[in-house]
Amino acid sequence: MTHLRRRPALLAAVPLAVTALLTAADPALAAGPVGTPGVGDPYFPLAGNGGYHVDHYGLTLRYDPGTRHLDGKAVLTARATQALTRFDLDLNGLKVTALTVDHVKAGHRRDGQELVVTPRRALRKGERFRVSVTYSGTPGPVTDPDGSLDGWIPTDDGAFVAGEPQGAMTWFPANNHPTDKSSYDFAITVPEGRTAVANGVLLGGRTAHGRTTYRWRQAEPMAAYLATATVGTFQVRQYTTRDGIKVYDAVDPREAAAAGPVLAKLPAVLEWGSRLFGPYPYRAAGSIVDHAPNVGYALETQTRPVYDRAPDLSTLVHESAHQWFGDSVSLTSWKDIWLNEGFATYAEWLYAEQHGGDSAQAAFDALYARPAADGLWEFPPGDPGSGANIFGTPVYARGAMALHVLRTTVGDRAFFRVLRAWAAAHRDGNGTTAQFERLAEKVSGKDLGSLFATWLYAQGKPNRP
Ligand code: TRP
Ligand code: ZN
């Protein structure tokens, strides 16, 4: 009897002895290999996490707009890119009530925006694993370095949910950096009469006991910041375009009159984009037009941008262009943000030029006329300097100017081939400014080093091209 009872104790003692030996040899190894708390983004050092990739998020949410209470369960299917005795998720606020790894209870603690997970058993490099996190609380937005709010932003009838650059972690545990792209399933329960709108295709809505559950599927890979679960009282319209894209529009009735004529242009805008940039990357599309006057911006949430008010046509074009540039081809680092905003702004110029408005040259000239002291020249778009500048005027306007100089240098034929090659080569993936520069040189056969050095990286107002 004594013998039997001692055996588990002896087995348990072995790892302890190994740990002790390792501690003596090298204290850093004592804990075993751990995932880093960030992916190394210079502007957002804690964004994302090292050591694994998430293939799929299954998010089950229940939101009560009256009390602003959220109950959530997130099931992440992931792959370890190294051996892991411990890894982090990003989660801001909210209370974790249960956490398992491969169905076994795991250790977890909070450290600021990091949710530190210690699985019972270490994960091997290359191993697939499943993390289940049950959580609840009253979600709210994060304040970004530039003072704007993002994440879960309560409204008078629900919530405006937009996560760029950091806010995804305010409503689900995430590997919160655009380098990790995943498919998503959502099941969002809200009081009957409210609508919960996420990304991708609507699989169904079911009402029982005064609540409706909306199920959405985003099949193509998506960065966490592009996920939404916007809740409100919405007028809904669904149809399929000539190209077979499933469109779902949700519009706050207070914005419906102003939004209607603009949203009606979406199929034409997507067809226009497909001709210019290559095939629209997703099977679903649409718009969420909320009434959230305190937000102050729209976001290109994947397949279905979310607007804080009725958009004008150029804003619809901007967010639509992001579906190619930003959503399908995603950033590798936030400092490359001009790859999103410069491209989407230049798309606005192209759309105007091709639809009876100002030429892109006229838009360029009007900006170039601004004096050297203007905010437009405050920092270069390819190197904004900090997270506080990523949505600054130089990123949008001088970023678009850089593309215009590229176009006038290589000619229309080569320029539009570059845009299409960029969208095709990095579709559902990521890209860097350096890769874009190389591609532009390859397609055009020109040395573009000084063009990019001047328009993307040089301080101050460049000389006239
Ligand atoms: N990317 C958005 C756009 O289409 C803008 C945006 C998102 C933004 N989050 C923001 C702007 C936060 C300012 C602050 O341009
Ligand atoms: Zn934009």
Pocket test for ligand 1, best of 142, 153, 160, 299 (most atoms within 8 A of CB): 299
Residue entry with tokens 């959405």: 216
Is residue 447 one of the residues assigned to a domain? yes
**pLDDT confidence bin for 31, thresholds 50/70/90:** low
Ligand 1, atom nearest to 165 Cα = 9
The predicted structure's pLDDT at residue 7: 36
Give the CATH number for residue 418: 1.10.390.10
Instruction: Find the 298 Cα to ligand 1 centroid distance in Å.
Output: 6
> With a 6 A CB cut-off, is 41 part of the ligand 1 pocket?
no
Beta strands in 290-415 (DSSP E): 306-307, 329-331
Instruction: Find the 400 Cα to ligand 2 centroid distance in Å.
Output: 11
Is residue 130 one of the residues assigned to a domain? yes
> What is the domain count for the chain?
2
Whether residue 85 sits in one domain with residue 197: yes
Instruction: Find the 396 Cα to ligand 2 centroid distance in Å.
Output: 8
Ligand 1, atom nearest to 146 Cα = 14
Q: How many residues does the chain have?
A: 465
Beta bridge partners of 133: 74, 99
Whether residue 197 sits in one domain with residue 75: yes
Percent of the chain with pLDDT over 90: 93
> With a 6 A CB cut-off, is 300 part of the ligand 1 pocket?
yes
The pairs formed by 28-31 with CB atoms below 8 angstroms and a separation of 24 or more are 31/85, 31/86
In terms of Cα–Cα distance, which of 172, 230, 166 is closest to 198?
A: 230
For ligand 1, atom 4, the nearest C-alpha belongs to 299
Instruction: Find the 14 Cα to ligand 1 centroid distance in Å.
Output: 53
Is residue 313 one of the residues assigned to a domain? no
Q: Is the pLDDT of residue 32 over 90?
A: no
For ligand 1, atom 3, the nearest C-alpha belongs to 299
Segment 46-68 mean pLDDT: 98
CA distance 264 to 267: 7
Residue 386 belongs to what domain range?
331-457
Reported as a single tens digit per residue, the pLDDT across 109-153 is 999 999 999 999 999 999 999 999 999 999 999 999 999 999 999
Q: Is the pLDDT of residue 350 over 60?
A: yes
Instruction: Find the 162 Cα to ligand 1 centroid distance in Å.
Output: 9
Whether residue 226 sits in one domain with residue 88: yes
278 dihedral zone (left: phi>0; alpha: psi -120 to 50; beta): left
Is residue 409 one of the residues assigned to a domain? yes
Whether residue 207 sits in one domain with residue 78: yes
> With a 6 A CB cut-off, is 408 part of the ligand 1 pocket?
no
Is residue 437 one of the residues assigned to a domain? yes
CB atoms within 10 A of CB 329: 26
Pocket test for ligand 1, best of 142, 391, 396 (most atoms within 8 A of CB): 391
Whether residue 70 sits in one domain with residue 189: yes
Is residue 229 one of the residues assigned to a domain? yes
Instruction: Find the 344 Cα to ligand 2 centroid distance in Å.
Output: 6
> With a 6 A CB cut-off, is 319 part of the ligand 1 pocket?
yes
Reported as a single tens digit per residue, the pLDDT across 438-451 is 999 999 999 999 99
Which of residues 233, 265, 281 is at a domain's end? Answer: 233
Q: Is the pLDDT of residue 426 over 60?
A: yes
The predicted structure's pLDDT at residue 306: 99
Whether residue 366 sits in one domain with residue 221: no
Give the CATH number for residue 142: 2.60.40.1730
Whether residue 337 sits in one domain with residue 205: no
Whether residue 58 sits in one domain with residue 202: yes
Task: Supply the Cα-derived Rg of the chain in whole angstroms.
Answer: 24
pTM for the predicted model, two decimal places:
0.93
Is residue 117 one of the residues assigned to a domain? yes
Which of residues 203, 233, 263 is at a domain's end? Answer: 233
Segment 391-407 mean pLDDT: 98
Which of residues 175, 209, 233 is at a domain's end? Answer: 233
Backbone angles phi, psi at 252, to 5 degrees: -60, 130
Q: What is the DSSP string of 385-447?
A: -SGGGTTSHIIIIIHHHHHHHHHHHH-HHHHHHHHHHHHHHTTTEEE-HHHHHHHHHHHH-S-
Whether residue 339 sits in one domain with residue 225: no
Ligand 1, atom nearest to 341 Cα = 15
Percent of the chain with pLDDT over 70: 93
Residue entry with tokens 């959503």: 327
Segment 207-226 mean pLDDT: 98
Whether residue 206 sits in one domain with residue 343: no
CA distance 326 to 442: 22
Judged by its nearest atom, the ligand closest to the C-alpha of residue 153 is 1
> With a 6 A CB cut-off, is 298 part of the ligand 1 pocket?
yes
Is residue 315 one of the residues assigned to a domain? no
Judged by its nearest atom, the ligand closest to the C-alpha of residue 347 is 2
CA distance 243 to 279: 10
On average, the pLDDT of the chain sits at: 94
The encoded tokens of residue 7 equal 């055996």
